Amino acid sequence: MDHFLHFVDQSLLVAEKPAGLLSVPGRLEENKDCLVTRLQQHHPDVMTVHRLDQVTSGLMLYARGKAMQIALSKQFEQRQVSKRYEALVQGLIEGESGEIDLPLICDWPNRPKQMVSFELGKPSLTRWRVLARDAAAQTTRVELEPVTGRSHQLRLHLASIGHPIVGDVMYDAQPAARVCLHARRLGFTHPLSGVALEFVSECPF
């Protein structure tokens, strides 16, 4: 259990979510196992503040108790939380950095899939930076900063520019052992002490 934990005190908890595990319980009985229920077995007051897709691995912040959940949720709403992801994408991206600014909305007939919609979508912005290119494998390793936090934002934004994340068959990538998306860095302010905290998780792919 403890290998999930990066940090724990009386206010909050930072844990590592493996790929394939839900962040929060699903509706069906077989989807009850998730990171938050595993954490609650040891820390019953743990409450959800944000989510990662089931296919995504990496750092997650959890509150302990309602007051801390409200305080930490406010930091996410006000974009005071620094998030950086690492991804491996198909193809060789041109340029060294850039922004993807495409409005997103749920594709209801195909949910949970999302889609780009200039008429109905919510504004969505992703910043990207190339870390490495592998010409032989025809892949690019990128660091991603989701300025907004829409559902599937990073996955759909990269697919929309012709570079789906490796393994992300939902967004037309070739099948792979996993979806190569990892929440690598997480920075926020401790709601009680006011101290700036940052956590880094080694990328597993």
Active site residues per annotation: 53
Contact 92, 137 (CB under 8 A): no
Q: Decide the pairing of beta strands 12-17 and 57-64.
A: antiparallel
Residue type, 191: P
Indicate the SS3 state at residue 169: helix
Cα 30 to the chain's mean position, in Å?
23
Strand partners, 132: 141
* Of 97, 101, 186, the residue nearest 143 (C-alpha): 97
